[in-house]
Amino acid sequence: MNVPAVFDSRDAHCKKPYGALPCGKEWSLTCRPLSQEGFTHCSVILRREFAGHEMEAEMPFSGFQEDRACFSLSLLPFSSPELVWYWFRFWRDDGTGCFLDKTGYRSQGDPIPWQLTVYEERPTPAWFGEGVTYQIFPDRYCRLSLPDPSGLIGGRWVHENWEDVPAWRPEDGEIKNRDFFGGSLEGVAAHLDDLAALGVESLYFCPIFESASNHRYNTADYRKIDPLLGTEEDFRSLCAQAREKGIRVILDGVFNHTGSQSVYFNADGFYPTLGAAQSRESPYYDWFHFSEWPWAYESWWGISTLPNVREDCPDYVDYIIEGRDSVVKHWLRAGASGWRLDVADELPDGFIEKLRSAVEETDPDALVLGEVWEDASNKISYSQRRRYLLGRELHGVMNYPFRTALLAYLLGGGGESFREAMETLRENYPPAAFFSALNFLGTHDTPRVLTILGGRPLPEGREAQSAFRLTPGERETARVRLRLAAAVLFTFPGSPMIYYGDEAGMEGAADPFNRGTYPWGREDRELLEWFSRLGTLRKGRASLRRGDLRWLEAEGPLLSYVRELPGESTLTLVNAGGGERSFSLPEADYRDLLTGEPVPGGQVPAPPHSVRLLGIG
């Protein structure tokens, strides 16, 4: 039988309110089995995960609807954040019956329950989810002059040729990541007008603090801007100039580990002060997990250059979060508007909660974003169910499920799969978290989106990937697909993020080939213009910034939805297939938002590999 007809958690006839539930709000459930099934009783089983409690409540018979018997129950509010799992039990007067879970009726086995996220309502910065974000890998965006790396930590060297391929060959069996190109904060400041023309309202920087590597995820000094990037004054100036243009700055906080060459660990003795690897009397010794000092210690994924820190160490928490001039507070006061937490899965819930409190204490309108690759509402990390989105930790997360589902659709998957993946998030996430998700097509941790959309699998091994380029035919196919991908990215709820250079047509396989230099003077002008038009549209239409989402069609190559507010609607119509199709729209006065032409309702043609953006109001 059709299980959603019995219970559909997304149908207001079965569950109210839709999706996640705020603490203190009542909710109701209705089940509608076929009358011919003969069920006379129904109950709901509720398992509260964090409370460790399970209960069963009978749902009274509430009448018939045509050929269905209805059982309904209003439930009392939850007083605290919780993750609730629920399923149903049906039985007849003779004692026979069954369970109902997400898979259908069943008589044995463990249930596959529905999820209810119960969250604490707290303010979320509105500015982030509404506007466009631009991610910059600082070393590779723009340099104004060739810097001198001598005397800096890490034995660095700088490419003279901006267009070189990033170094990838191991040195002494290890990838050193010590080749630099010399991008700087002043280089970013010089292009703020270009970023504003893209509609950008927030800049997300990969780490900018002193570090021995070009990616700077092995922090050497949290209190110092890397000298190749500039100074603290350069940072303050950049933030101030950006704010004048309506652009905020988000920093990357790498607080799970430091670098082995850092001032805190100081494995090679670069810094004149005592690090934890040099002396047990070091003020930083208690920050780290030594099993045999100084040689054996916990490190991120076993990488010796990334020693893990003890996030429960009071001195570390004070240094990063709670001190009067802690790292988190200092850089917010210097002009930053938020923090993106690297590897949030490896940061304890208590640490994240303290960090958010410190952020809100310093700037109530600042953002805390987390790197989470899966559904953040039910993520299990190190055998612990996480509480990221329950109200006291993250405002939002990086939306990797969006990228995965969208690229799968554009590479031949069905629109229904994309809709299901996004509806799962919308149902599980608190609304503010769903609308504050960071949506993207690629990041510094993924191959370039244009390379993926070419459709050819990446070769194995770094040497093969270093030479991998799309053929002219593959590149044109990828460009067409990227136009569709960007249209969905810019019109979907959440902040659309551009990974630097994607808008210019950059290619690149896995790290480090996805981290090439921005192609100044060699941009794909047509793609750049497309992204700019979409950015302008996003910035100018209130329905795209904060409108509700309603699906119109999602089947096979067709995908359409509307973002709507009272008085304004924006429709996105995508045909990702190679055949001529059409969309059936209600009669209304539509306008093509890219050409300005009126579009009548009814059957709207959808040429192969095309997107239409239509507006009402």
Q: What is the DSSP string of 483-536?
A: HHHHHHHHHSSSEEEEETTGGGT----STTTTS----TT---HHHHHHHHHHHH
Q: Is the pLDDT of residue 83 over 50?
A: yes
Q: What string of DSSP letters covers 248-276? A: EEEEEE--SB--TTSTTT-TT--SSSPPT
Q: Which residues of 492-502 are buried (b: 16+ CB within 10 A; e: fewer)?
A: bbbbbbbbbbb
Contact between 199 and 132 under an 8 Å Cβ cutoff? The reply is: yes
Predicted confidence at residue 84, as pLDDT, reads 98
For residue 440, which amino acid is it?
F
Structure tokens given for 518 = 């921005």
| C-alpha R_g of the chain | 26
CA-based nearest residue to 204, from 300, 333, 342, 309: 342
Contact between 469 and 507 under an 8 Å Cβ cutoff? The reply is: yes
Contact between 248 and 202 under an 8 Å Cβ cutoff? The reply is: yes
Average of per-residue pLDDT across 329-338: 98
Q: For 498-520, how does the pLDDT look when each residue is reduced to its tens digit (9 = 90+)? A: 999 999 999 999 999 999 999 99
Residue 1 binned pLDDT confidence (cut-offs 50, 70, 90): very low
Query: What are the residue ranges spanned by the domains of the chain?
Result: 3-119, 133-255+311-542, 257-310, 548-616
Predicted confidence at residue 173, as pLDDT, reads 79
Active-site annotation holder among 342, 393, 427, 553: 342
Q: For 93-108, how does the pLDDT look when each residue is reduced to its tens digit (9 = 90+)? A: 999 999 999 999 999 9
Q: Is the pLDDT of residue 4 over 80?
A: no
Contact between 276 and 283 under an 8 Å Cβ cutoff? The reply is: no
Cis amide bond preceding 294, omega within 30: yes
Q: For 374-428, how does the pLDDT look when each residue is reduced to its tens digit (9 = 90+)? A: 999 999 999 999 999 999 999 999 999 999 999 999 999 999 999 999 999 999 9
Neighbours of 526 (CB within 10 A): 10
Average of per-residue pLDDT across 217-240: 98
Query: What's the CATH superfamily of 133-255+311-542?
Result: Glycosidases (3.20.20.80)
For residue 420, which amino acid is it?
E
Give residues with Cβ within 8 angstroms of 288, minimum separation 6.
Answer: 265, 276, 297, 298, 307, 308, 309, 310
Nearest-angstrom CA–CA distance, 196 and 573? 27
67 is catalytic: no
Nearest-angstrom CA–CA distance, 476 and 487? 17
The SS3 of residue 69 is strand
Contact between 581 and 571 under an 8 Å Cβ cutoff? The reply is: no
Please state the three-class secondary structure of 281-296 as a single string.
CCCCHHHECEEECCCE
Q: For 526-553, how does the pLDDT look when each residue is reduced to its tens digit (9 = 90+)? A: 999 999 999 999 999 999 999 999 999 9
Percentage with pLDDT > 70 across the chain: 99
Domain 3-119 and domain 133-255+311-542, same fold? Reply is no
End-to-end CA distance of the chain: 42
Nearest-angstrom CA–CA distance, 374 and 421? 11
Contact between 203 and 247 under an 8 Å Cβ cutoff? The reply is: yes
Look at domain 257-310 and name its CATH class.
Answer: alpha beta
Predicted confidence at residue 256, as pLDDT, reads 98
In this prediction the pTM is 0.97
Alpha carbon distances (Å) from 514 to 411, 442, 465, 469, 538: 20, 9, 10, 12, 26
Contact between 15 and 25 under an 8 Å Cβ cutoff? The reply is: no
Fold of 3-119: Immunoglobulin-like (2.60.40)
Q: What share of the chain is helix, strand, coil (3-state, %, to 5)?
A: 25, 30, 45
Nearest-angstrom CA–CA distance, 274 and 282? 5
Number of helices (H), then strands (E), belonging to the chain: the values are 16, 35
Task: Report the relative pairing of strands 104-106 and 200-205 from DSSP bridges.
Answer: unpaired
Query: What's the CATH superfamily of 548-616?
Result: Golgi alpha-mannosidase II (2.60.40.1180)
Contact between 384 and 436 under an 8 Å Cβ cutoff? The reply is: no
371 is catalytic: yes
Nearest-angstrom CA–CA distance, 131 and 246? 10
The SS3 of residue 570 is strand
Place of tokens 């100036």: 237
Q: Is the pLDDT of residue 2 over 50?
A: no
The values of phi and psi at residue 554, to 5°, are -155, 95
Q: Is the pLDDT of residue 3 over 80?
A: no
Nearest-angstrom CA–CA distance, 300 and 265? 14
Nearest-angstrom CA–CA distance, 156 and 451? 29
Predicted confidence at residue 174, as pLDDT, reads 82
The values of phi and psi at residue 336, to 5°, are -70, 155
Structure tokens given for 29 = 């459930």
Active-site annotation holder among 371, 503, 511, 553: 371
The residues with which 101 forms a beta bridge, in sequence order, are 104
For residue 198, which amino acid is it?
L
Nearest-angstrom CA–CA distance, 102 and 7? 9
Average of per-residue pLDDT across 40-51: 98
Averaged pLDDT score across all residues of the chain: 97
Residue 171 binned pLDDT confidence (cut-offs 50, 70, 90): confident
Percentage with pLDDT > 90 across the chain: 98
